[in-house]
Structure 1
Amino acid sequence: MVHHHRATLLPHHIHNEEKEQADEMKELRGQLGDYACRHRKHGHDALLLMLAGFAFVSCLLLLLPNSPFSAAMDDLLQLGRTRRCDQEMAPTPPAPCAGVPNGTVCCDRGSPRADLCVMRGDVRTHAASNTLFLLAAAASADERIRPYTRKWESSVMSTIDELRLRAVPVPDPEGAARCDVRHDVPAVVFSTGGYTGNVYHEFNDGIIPLYITARRYNRKVVFVMLEYHDWWMTKYGHIVEQLSDFPPVDFSNDTRTHCFPEAVVGLRIHDELAIDASRMPGSQGIRDFRHMLDDAHRGRINAIIEEENAAPQAAPAAAALAKKRITEQLAVDDRPRLVIVSRNGSRAIENELELARAAARAGFRVTVLRPRPDTELAQMYRVLNGSDVMVGVHGAAMTHFLFMRPGSAFIQVVPLGTDWAAENYYGEPARRLGLHYIPYKILPSESSLFRRYARDDPVLTDPVAVNAKGWQVTKKVYLDGQNVRLDMARFRRRLREAYDHWAAQRRRQQSQPL
């Protein structure tokens, strides 16, 4: 499950008067700068408005010489010299360790989320000692790293194999083995341990950071995996093939010495299910990642469709005819497609059938998707990529919003006590992907907890205070101990919003010239 780490990921913000004033000034400066950029090329009317703004701020400056407006005024006066509207900002400085010289080990430990080390030169694996050697003259580096992207979470990091990175002189007195396999492309070394097995963590901690780290190599890279799992490669092999032209190396079980001209040990991570385009080559962002998912699954989806089309040939004639009729009906059914991602166990929708009927009455073609651990990823991708709306209760399965097309709608049912996690793990990332995000925060009366606790119990009235007692309490009460029964009178408004969004999208598409 998704681990809520609001209190542990980064230091708490200091809420004091100076901080609030600084935030206000930062916002004011940004607003003034954005105003200038928007109106710089709109002619004399905009210029007069700008001059009026200058005059107003100048008066404040004269009348209130000690006011914080002076700082904003200084920034505004510098706009012409420091800010270039209509042009790209200066390129982001290279990441630490990006330009290390040959024969060097460089480790970037500045991120609160993950460490990353770069070894450049004659790099050799030694699985028996969990070591990567760098053979270099007059070298003496000795670093240790656990290549997983939850650095702040000591409990899970303790389960990740630690690698030793050693730079040793040439000739090597430690006896680093000769090369059994020599690669002429770099290695990216990472672990598929930790919370692997949970789809949220598989994407957030693994797949997206792997994309961020490896994309710059344009597939000319070898993945070296710690805690290699065959099932992981079965599930994500199509994605791995989009990022590397070479078979991965199982570090622990492949006892041969692999030699590389460079090794990146660890993965870079930007945010929850997010990619910061300003830190990526070619300004690639989360939509580019989704295009890669399209490419990864297209071949398998086409094969599934061919298998389905071939199946009726072996079926009885009546069954084949019935399937043909259904297919023909679906072909002319132009209603928007809504997928309900069903949950078993905790946080299930108790009146799911009522929800499906309400969605159908609202004008949707409804599919209930019940993913199992063995559900093929391409099957999930096919259903969600072809849908217009996804509905589901907060939980790891909401990670599948990544399979939705930009412009689609995502309705997330937010149970009690999950507001922060629902917004930060799925709501904001969905917006960045270009989805129309619709949160549905349930009332206490819609929670199964309403039947177990007194009306004035903090579990119902003050979830923030209950969550403050720690992760284990949150998990027990709100994640593992709660189901929802939707108030359909309230929820129909979300269905209507999703339908109206789809209709508006369709009108825009139809109005575009061919």
Structure 2
Amino acid sequence: MVTDKKIISLTVKVGLVLFAVCILAPISLMVLFRHAVPLQTLRLLFSAGPTSSVMWEEEKMDSANKGELLCECDMSSLRSDVCELKGDVRVILSNVTIIALLHPSVSVRRRSWRMKPHARKNDGHTLANVTEVLVSVTPSSPYAPGCTAESAAPAVVFSVGGYAGNMFHDFTDVLIPLFITASRFRSDAHLLVSDAPPWWLDKYRPLLRGLSRHAVIDMDRQSAEVLCYPHVVVGLSFHKEMSIDTAKTLGGHYSMAGFAHLARRSYGLERDTAIRLLHGSDNIESPRRPRLLIISRKTTRAFTNMGAVAQAAAMLGYEVIVGEAEQHSDLPAFARLVNSCDVLVGVHGAGLTNLVFLPPGAVVVQVVPLGGLEAMARDDFGEPAGDMGLSYVQYRIAVGESTLAELYPRDHRVLRDLALRSEYLVGQNVTLDVARFSGALSRALELLHH
């Protein structure tokens, strides 16, 4: 019994000691680091994690409180990492290094990390073609690289690497994330780009000019410069495929409809409203027929009976145009062609990205080949079409409309195993059942009446 009392007494004493340690330890740390690092900085540093938002903040503790340096990184997205640095930030182009200089009076050990500023961070094939950026937060020093050029404007650093030249990826991975990231700067941000072929910059220069009034800085071809900014964003924010989640934007002010408006304005496109038809009579705008553009593909997922499809559309009352969106085509000219049309038809693929140039109220008809691609097709073009103020019709082909049915018997694994996506995306063309597809074209006409 006595032994039990001693054990209880000892347990109580140990508990009191542990309680005192829990109370005093944080206070001791506060006193120990009070003059070295602000308490706010410690709290933020301790909360940092590899898959969460990471923030370092340091305020100059002088009497005038003349400024602050902030470094905030969001690593939580599955598609992109984004870091923002404010204060004295220097971009060294020769070795693609970005240095944020802390005030000399602050004693904080140097922190640095590497990142690839591209919105497809878990795609190893893409990242192999993306230049890595070294970001460093370090105390100011007389040995810090001097500025060859200074600007009061902010800067956005990003890469075009990966699938550059594929129009869908150009927009989904680069241009739309760039719009999301840079719009808040109201065309005043310097765009610092790496891994951009000259033809890519030429192709999208009108849109890049719409995003920034400053000339694009090609980091690969101006490597002798040290550029200094008060605010640098490294990486691009990604929301969803080929579109924008307005709820995630600053104040909810930026949308996919806004991006499409910028694209039309950048390429000098005049039409901001598709044709509107009255039931049983001519349309409101003019006596012309609604224009339908069929996007032609040459290599794969091509229409094998294009003539029959065009004839069926003409019989329904369309003025039919067939166009091919080539990889390095004259984009301004093709954008004008798309903008002149009211309905866009195409098999699932990069050519449908041209829907950004359609006038609001137009209709997109996406032909989905075999392969269980319905959800991906809707994510890539269906939802974005709605976000841009366009109507959408999705046409899923039957087995008999795929050229794979000519190569394999009906019970073959290729026609049943939806995991063989490469076969579906690369190895098949489409022979549309004209009578069946006419239903989708009629549905597009109905949408133009509303």
Q: Deviations over 1:471-511 (max 9, x none)?
A: xx422x11111001000110111111111222x23xxxxxx
| Identity %, equivalent residues | 35
**Aligned position for 1:350:** 304
Task: State the distance in 1 between where 2:57 and 2:445 align.
Answer: 53
Structure 2: distance between partners of 1:281 and 1:97: 19
Gaps of 5+ in 2: 1-51, 59-67, 272-284
Which is richer in helix? 1
Residue in 2 aligned with 1:421? 376
1:106·1:119 contact (CA, 8 Å) conserved in 2? Answer: yes
Distance 1:276 1:239 in 2: 20
Matched residue, 2:434: 488
1:402 aligns with 2:367: no
Does the 8 A contact of 1:191 with 1:226 survive in 2? yes
**Structure 2 SS opposite 1:492:** helix
Structure with greater proportional strand content: 2
Q: Confirm whether residue 337 of structure 1 aligns to residue 291 of structure 2.
A: yes
User: Is the counterpart of residue 271 in structure 1 residue 271 in structure 2?
Assistant: no
Q: What is residue 61 of structure 1 aligned with on the other side?
A: none
1:124, 1:176 within 8 Å by CA — same for their partners in 2? no
Distance 1:380 1:463, change over 3 A: farther
Question: Given that residues 189 and 214 in structure 2 are in contact (C-alpha distance below 8 angstroms), is that contact kept between their aligned partners in structure 1?
Answer: yes
| TM-score between the two structures when normalised by the length of structure 1 | 0.69
Show the counterpart of 1:193: 161
**Worse-matched range after superposition: 481-490 or 430-439:** 430-439
Does 2:439 align with 1:439?
no
Query: CA, structure 1 residues 333+100, in 2 after alignment: closer, same or farther (shift >3 Å)?
Result: farther
Partner of 1:46: none
**Cα drift, residue 105 of structure 1:** 2.6
- Secondary structure of the 1:263 match is strand
Gaps of 5+ in 1: 1-94, 303-330, 468-472, 506-514
After superposition, residues 104-503 of structure 1 pair within 5 angstroms as: 104-137=70-103, 138-139=107-108, 140-172=110-142, 175-254=143-222, 255-283=224-252, 284-298=254-268, 333-417=287-371, 418-460=373-415, 462-464=416-418, 467=419, 473-475=420-422, 477-502=423-448
Residue identity in the other structure for 2:375: W
- Contact 1:136-1:169 at 8 Å conserved across structures: yes
Shift of 1:209: 0.2
Rg larger in structure: 2
Shift of 1:97: 7.2
How much does 1:282 deviate? 4.6
TM-score, normalisation: structure 2 = 0.78
Are the structure 2 counterparts of residues 100 and 482 from structure 1 closer, same or farther at C-alpha, using a change threshold of 3 Å? farther
CA distance in 2, matches of 1:378, 1:258: 32
Deviation at 1:357, TM superposition (A): 0.7
CA contact (8 A) 1:105 1:141 kept: no
Compared with structure 1, are the counterparts of its residues 427 and 99 closer, same or farther at alpha carbon in structure 2 (3 Å cutoff)?
farther
Q: Name the aligned partner's letter for residue 294 of structure 1.
A: R
Deviation per CA, 1:340-393: give whole Å up to 9, x if none: 011101111000011111111110001101122332222122111221111111
Could you tell me which amino acid in structure 2 is paired with residue 356 of structure 1?
A
Distance in 1 separating the partners of 2:190 and 2:138: 23
Q: How many aligned residue pairs are there?
A: 370
Q: What displacement does 1:333 show? A: 5.0
Report the alpha carbon displacement of residue 130 of structure 1 after superposing the two structures with TM: 2.1
Given residue 152 of structure 1, which amino acid in structure 2 is its aligned partner?
N
Q: Render the CA deviation track for 1:275-312: whole Å, top value 9, x for unaligned.
A: 1111223522111111111210117x89xxxxxxxxxx
CA contact 1:127–1:253 (8 Å) conserved in 2:
no
- Once the two structures are TM-superposed, the CA of residue 434 in structure 1 deviates from its matched residue by 2.3
